[in-house]
Chain A
């Protein structure tokens, strides 16, 4: 084929050569990334999400385990902005009556009980990052004890919004560990396998075969049941995370190996080899960049996959468990018919999952396009 003769590493002739020539590779990528509007939005969402994760205590109106026994399963309040013609954000208080037979609560809004809401209000004292004592919050009731539940409360009378925010801290950090491990293992072993070949390739391939063909369900269940009881739920989950990444690197490795195999035949690699480029440099400078896009696509899909896996594990009873707050734990309470029918606001963490998964996907999309040297 004549097309293979053209050396793809040569810069494409372009009009604005002057600017493009001096720009670094990362700058080029950024220019391209900007073109993908949704990706930019996704990126902004993720940056915001991680800022919130870092300052949960400040952003959440309540601490995750603060509860109020008079407001169990309280529905969401509506935030009103104006009163008596002036700007005065507030919510109304509410009370319940319990049906004597069905024990179902009927909530009535008391418009006379006005609960002023403010920004940077004082509330329950907390310790940011467990060592900076503070009591200011982004938003909350002016008087600290007033009910303020924008997304309603759960079975213990805890604020769903606050818990969703604190859940992000666990859900959004634990998945990073997994993805990082997956990436390292996948590229290292896949690359080794593809590049060296021979018996190394054989062994790695057999390991991958076995790991890929055994269904993960029994392995999760088995491992979840051997963890010592004295471990905290978070330790258990961290362990499961590592195990999942020990199993999921195989996909990445296969992809990487496949790419290596086909790249090995490419002329520019041959050229580099003939130039006396060593293996390490060959991988890092010549091969990796050429399939970076694929790697990024896989990672951005892997993070949401991990977030979803967490919720599924909770469903099967082997994931995180109370008192840990994570999206999976919160959705565990929501996976009941009674919830969907009676307390639909408990599905709110599901919205958070969808939002983050979408944002990550679009972000990944944009990154992929940006990393593509031909686009």
Chain B
């Protein structure tokens, strides 16, 4: 413990120079802006900043990249809450509760709560990174395909919680999500599935789907219904943007739970922040005394996923630093950066280049503080900017969505995809088909399919591998319990509702 603290203080000594402090502050702001732009997430943010690190000292370069990474997690929530267009995948869940809050005139409050939850989540993840990284990483490598498959199934079982009133509709959109995820190269056999055009060889870009489903879908729905936002006139009373005691009390429990969940999901390679947010949301809905408030601006449903997605960033750095395994797209580019700097990611990194790694961790801690301050201070700016342009929002959102989809591969293909999913999103919204299970299936189905087929291959065609391994068996039991508890509680709630009517 004392060794760890000594190493961390050494990291702070390296980082606390005027040049590095300014660099980390700017990295946070740049990450926030990139995260807020539809189509650009952590991977794009880090990749765009990579050329700037050439020639920088290693510690400064890594601080810049990790600061951008952390900043994108803060930024993703801004457009989610304000215009229902998630900047990146982990911010999808934020839109489910944040946007309804914004429509109720509580956009500033939603941004405030999510900024504080993001800070707490990031801080918790960093604490685990500092004190428990080697221990946790040691256990994480013992999980094999069967355990990962069961983990994905646990994630998919939360569809029951995201389903809404009509399970049939939820199952339809889930199957649709599964099918959408099957496009492109099959990782196990190399077979190319449903590549009707060459662009589909790599599959359908998930970000194009969310841009269409949420951004364009919302615009189409509002256009048809002639809904015009009325957010009032701009004002700069700071008290409107800072959460009160009662709001913070409501957010505290979910924030802590989201932080813990996000960190541990983030550690698992391949799982990442998006899955952490879905699980955190499902958990809060399960624990809530008023689950019917979810989807209408529930603070718990906003705070927990936000905490989990920021906690997943330090979490995903644990396997990267200790084992050299990137757990997500963002950390994969970070791995490239480490190699580019001449560092050797893996178990020896902390021994051979401990000074650089500890400086990076210290930089992340500093970035987290800067990001909280800048994000809270910038809330009035964001909200009032939205108030100023609210009458022109449809064309602004369409413009951002089109350019965001274009920036995915510098071609029009993803804009067509976004348009198609915009129409689908509009039709789903109009007919009360939930989007949550669809997105969850699109995210988890390819992972679940790969792990499932790898597991069966490992067991030479036998299914017993899922119950012969203790961790896998535990997850099977847990999943069955989650599904049963959800169905029973839904039935009880329905009976109670019928009784009161």
A and B associate in one complex: no
Q: Which residues of A contact B (CB under 8 A)?
A: none
Q: Which residues of B contact A (CB under 8 A)?
A: none
